[in-house]
Amino acid sequence: MSTAIVMPKLGMTMKEGTIVEWLKQPGESVSEGEGVAVISSEKLTSEVEAPTDGVLLTIIEEVDNEVEVGKPIGIIGNEKEAESESSQDVREGKDAALEENAPARQEAEVKRKDTNKRIRISPAARKLAQQLRVDTQKVTGTGPNNRITRRDIQAFADMGGEVTEPKVDQETNTIVQPNVQPPDVKGEKLSVMRQTIAKRMQQSLSTTAQLTLHRKAEINALLDFQKDIKKQVMESELDVRLTLTVLIARAVTLSLRDKSFMNAHLIDGKLYLFDEVHLGIATSLDAGLVVPVVKNAERLPLGELAKAISSVTEKARNGQLPGYELTGSTFTISNLGQQGIEYFTPVLNTPETGILGVGTFIEEVTLENENVKTVKKLPLSLTFDHQVLDGAPAGDFLNRVVYYLEHPYLLVL
């Protein structure tokens, strides 16, 4: 009996995924738990595992197709079914999966103007064709049953293919000018990760009311504390790296415990408050940005928190982080201090309520008891969702973070 391979749900907010690559082709044997395809969603790329042993009979969804969670993307059967495509069970399995997946795929069929032949085009390809103003009737499909894919549309456009008649704005009665690159400039397709990030950022800005508060924390005492505790760690021969990011993460975790209204998700108009702090640490990669998550950060003392942050960020940079460690964060920290940035406006990692941006520390000269004193200050930028809370409570939270940073010995209590 055939078994469908379905699009998995990798996170709370995931509604669809994109097929990045098929690791197996029809007719190849697969083992339960073996990777058969690679998908991308919510800033992460993950393998889809075979639900059972058998042979990959059919690929339902091609590369670049966007598929709803729970919808079939392929079918696995036994060797006899692979040998006989006319098997009743296989036919029924395929038909059921294709019928179930029809609303998600919505494969369009249109007649060519000059023949009675039909062309097939995936939703993603049709959308791209509309954006590039490509006449789909002039494109040759390379997918199954001559179906037109996104790659076919992009290749046609890159080769200077003809486009449809220009669109006219009915209100102004003017031609809408397409965003066309000069002929000597070759367009480069965004990577799957970059496309996912772009989609997530656009979704974040379009579904939330984001406001950013800025202020500085005096960190002379914090740096002295860091220096002292590092010395004790070295003398004790402990394998712990207490970076400034770790100390900030501890201050944020304690502040989320004290001001729990910031440790929340807004999903479909409902607010979910969390007792547990699942801390996201924005990590830059060559290909883009990911947010590995330290689960239950509120339970970890300073040394254990340092190890956890080091572990998840190192795995993320090496591409070894499992999907469950890239989802479920309740608050995120983004640090651009190493790039010399002072203040910035971080974008919410939805459905979170807040994200803290950390800049590079700066030196300021102040007058204290008629004496000139140089102090080091750390710029902080808190972006929050104004739908969930107002500026005053958000300011209270940011002030609480500053309080812990300026009283560093509280970080170990």
Amino acid code (one letter) for 385: D
d(CA 203, CA 214): 24
Instruction: Round to whole Å and give the CA distance between 278 and 299.
Output: 10
CA dist., res. 223 & res. 229, Å (int): 10
Active-site hit among 224, 228, 275, 390: 390
Q: In sequence order, what are the residues at sequence separation of 6 or more whose Cβ sits closer than 8 angstroms to the Cβ of residue 235?
A: none
* Contact in structure between 30 and 62 (CB atoms under 8 Å): no
Count H helices and E strands in the chain, helices first.
9, 24
275 catalytic per annotation: no
Q: How far is CA 263 from CA 114, 209, 329, 376, 388, in A?
A: 61, 17, 10, 29, 11
Q: How far is CA 284 from the centre of its chain?
A: 12
Q: Catalytic: 152?
A: no
The one catalytic residue among 224, 275, 386, 407 = 386
The answer for residues whose C-beta is within 8 angstroms of residue 7's C-beta and 6 or more apart is: 16, 17, 39, 48, 67, 68, 69, 70, 71, 72, 73
* DSSP label at residue 207: H
**CA–CA separation, 55 vs 28, rounded Å?**
6
* Nearest alpha-carbon partner for 61 in 5, 115, 111: 5
DSSP-derived 3-state class of residue 96: helix
Long-range contacts of 95-101 (CB under 8 A, 24+ apart): 97/4, 97/58, 97/60, 97/72, 98/60, 98/72, 100/71, 100/72, 101/60, 101/61, 101/67, 101/71, 101/72
Which pair of structure tokens corresponds to residue 6? 């379905």
Torsion of CA 231, 234, 239, 242, to 10 degrees: 10
The helix/strand/coil state of 239 is: coil
Q: Are 68 and 7 in contact (CB under 8 A)?
A: yes
Helix (H) or strand (E) holding 391: helix 391-406
* Residues tagged active-site: 386, 390
